[in-house]
Each structure stands twice: as C-alpha cells, then as structure tokens.
Structure 1
Amino acid sequence: MSEHDFRSLQGCFLTASEHLRDPNFYRSVVLMLEHSAEGAMGLVINRPSATSIGKALGGSDNVNDAGAPVFIGGPVEPTSLFILHNCARLAASDREVSPGIFLAGSEHSFETVVRTPLQEPGQQRFRLISGYSGWGPQQLEGEIARGDWHLQPADSTLILEDNPYGIWEVCRRRLRRMHRLLQTDVRNPEWN
C-alpha cells in the first residue's frame, strides 16, 4: 500500500463482529486514537473492570467518582492509565479525539479531571481506562479485511455513556442501518 492509498481510521469506532471470539475484544467497541502505516492504537470504551477508580488510585476516596469502575482499554500495557473526558477548559492541553471528548495529555490534566471537585455534576464526565489496544503494521487492515471489525464514525455521546454494556448493540444497529442503505453486490438477486 502506498502512502497515497493509506486512510487513517483515527477518530473512528471499530465495532467487533459477531464472530470475533477473542476474549479481549468480544463484543467490544474501540475508539481509534492513532492509525498510520506503522500501526494503530485505540481504547475499548465498553469494558468496565471490577476495580474501582478509588482503588486503582491507591485507595483514595479523594477522587471524583471513586466508586466508578476503571475500564479495560485493551491487552497492551495494562498498568498504563488513560483518561477520556469532556472538560472543555482543559482543551488547550489535551487532544480532542472526538467532538467534545479529550484525551488527558499531562499529569496536570489527569489530576484536574480526577481530583478537582465537579462544578457541574452530571455534565463534566470522565472515564479512567487501563491498557490499550494496539496493532502492528498492516495487522488491523488484515483483521478488517477478514471481517473481524466494522468501521463507523465515532459518536461522542457513546464514549462516556452511562450504560457501557449497551454500546456494542447500539453500534451494531447503526451498522445494520448503514449497510441497508448501501448498494451491495448480491450473488443471488432472488435473496433480496
């Protein structure tokens, strides 16, 4: 594949197909953060763990949403922590990964999101994620070609969704609607 043929998937959702049985990705939705000819990186957004944020941060109750779960972003570097948040006042220091959703880019941002008392409860939200999903050169493209993943634009409203267990189903319904609208090559037209 030449440089000109490459299409970055950064900012997209990868939605696991029904037949993908890898326990790390079964019924998962991955927000793509990086994608280049050298590989790809993303965070699973719908896999809560049994560990609470308070416990993950040293048993501290002095954190926002201390009882909320830490999410499992993928099998790579499970001790690395990431924060996705919607705190616009930190936008200058953090990278916007989807409209209105930011990836904490510094220790200051991390501390601000996790420890600063929420000014507007229910409006400022975040998700603490451990580990990430990573692919080597051409690995993700091969998995997509094999049908393991389906692509769709990321939806900011789903990234911090209260019910993470429903995200995969929502994405699958949207994909079915999208594909009904697309013309397809049907080997047996009588199947239509």
Structure 2
Amino acid sequence: MSEARAGMLLVATPALLDPNFADTVVLLLDVDENGALGVVLNRPSGVPVAEVLADWGDVVAEPEVLFHGGPVSTEGALAVALLRADDDVPVGFRAVDGAEGRLGLVDLDTPVELVDGSLDGLRIFAGYAGWGAEQLEGEIEEGSWYVVPALAPDVFRCDPTDLWRDVLRRQPGELAWNSTRPVDPDLN
C-alpha cells in the first residue's frame, strides 16, 4: 500500500463505519505535516452547478451537479480540473502536487472565459474532507483506508456509482478481492 500524498486516492475499507465516508473514494489534494485535505469523488448531489455558480454551469463535466466533497465547510466550493494536454496553464489553475501535472484546482473567482476551452474536465465540490496532523496516518494504520494511485478519469466519471468497486478492482493482488464484497456482509 502506498503512502498518503497529494494525487492519491483514499478508498474506504469495510471497517470505516463513519456515514460521511462509508464506501467513498477521496482524492487527496494536499498532504503535509499539518494534515490532509481531499474531496469525495462519488457523492453527487441533486443540485445543478448552474443554480449555485451560474457562470460555471456550462463548463463542468457531466453530471452537471455539485458533488458533496466532504463534511468540512460545506458552504464553500472547490473546483478540480484536468487541463487539456496541449494547452498552457490558465490563470487561476494550480496543479496538485504528486498528481499527473494536468490535474489541479481552479480558483472559482477566476473569470470563466479565462479557463473555458483549456480544460478536459471540471468538477465542483461543496465542502471537503480534512484531517489534522497525523490523523489520516492513524486512520490508515487502523485499517480505515486503502491508499491507491489515482487516474484522472476517476475524478470526472459521468456515473460515479461504481467508482469504489472499480478503483479496487484494478488494484494488484488481494486488494482487488475487496471489490466483490457484498454491500451487506451478512448476506454473504
């Protein structure tokens, strides 16, 4: 299993019972000695982006809804984007350290016209997941999270329903077996 660092995925293990994170996949955006910050990739809301951030409604990837990024600062928003391979870095874009260079954050105060056309994908998250210093490391050690490499398509799936299983399924060895666990283990 890999070390938790920006650009990696946290995949909730069956041992993680917190309803905020059960069966989630979290993209880590920042990890340092002070803690970690990420967004939950597989919790779309029913709220269209255009209703909350009208200018960004036509730029976001399908489905064009806000995603529940996590339980912290749910009144705020983070935008994760994927740059087109041949484009220069637009104003307002900051690459996520450790991720492939094209994946990063977009400042939502940036005028849309400065980034529109330079992105292969954009997703907006209401809130985020956060951990204090050494908290995430403790949760990983206790078996609450698998830490695995991220792929850009994980962030921008049209239907994230099976993301948890698909991410586990592509992992090597015994970790892939976890993708077949039933939702209710008592039915096994």
- How does the TM-score come out when normalised to structure 2? 0.76
Check 1:16–1:107 CA distance in 2 against 1; reply closer, same or farther (3 A cut): same
Structure number with bigger Rg: 1
Matches within 5 A, 1:1-80: 9-57=5-53, 60=54, 63-64=57-58, 68-80=64-76
Identity of aligned residues (%): 31
Q: Which runs of no fewer than 5 residues in structure 1 stay unpaired?
A: 1-6, 182-192
Are 2:149 and 1:153 equivalent residues in the alignment? yes
The partner residue of 1:139 within 135, 139, 153 is 135
Q: In the aligned structure 1, how far is the partner of 2:107 from the partner of 2:128?
A: 15
Q: In the aligned structure 1, how far is the partner of 2:83 from the partner of 2:156?
A: 12
Check 1:92–1:136 CA distance in 2 against 1; reply closer, same or farther (3 A cut): same
Check 1:69–1:45 CA distance in 2 against 1; reply closer, same or farther (3 A cut): same
More helix by share: 1
RMSD (Å) for aligned C-alpha atoms: 2.7
Contact 1:81 1:130 in 2 (8 A): yes
Contact 1:83 1:128 in 2 (8 A): yes
Contact 1:53 1:65 in 2 (8 A): no
Check 1:104–1:12 CA distance in 2 against 1; reply closer, same or farther (3 A cut): same
Determine helix, strand or coil for the equivalent of 2:110: helix
The partner residue of 1:128 within 124, 128, 131 is 124
Contact 1:113 1:126 in 2 (8 A): no
Q: In the aligned structure 2, how far is the partner of 1:144 from the partner of 1:128?
A: 26
Of 86-95 and 129-138, deviating more is 86-95
The partner residue of 1:91 within 89, 92, 95 is 89
Determine helix, strand or coil for the equivalent of 1:144: helix
Q: In the aligned structure 2, how far is the partner of 1:23 from the partner of 1:180?
A: 22
Aligned length: 166
Q: In the aligned structure 2, how far is the partner of 1:135 from the partner of 1:61?
A: 31
Q: Post-superposition shift, 1:65?
A: 5.9
Q: Post-superposition shift, 1:28?
A: 0.7
Q: In the aligned structure 2, how far is the partner of 1:87 from the partner of 1:170?
A: 24
* Deviation sequence 1:91-121 (CA, Å, 0-9, x none): 2541222322221036216x3478x5x69xx
Check 1:90–1:71 CA distance in 2 against 1; reply closer, same or farther (3 A cut): farther
Contact 1:40 1:140 in 2 (8 A): yes
Contact 1:30 1:45 in 2 (8 A): yes
Q: Which runs of no fewer than 5 residues in structure 2 stay unpaired?
A: 177-188
Q: In the aligned structure 2, how far is the partner of 1:135 from the partner of 1:33?
A: 12
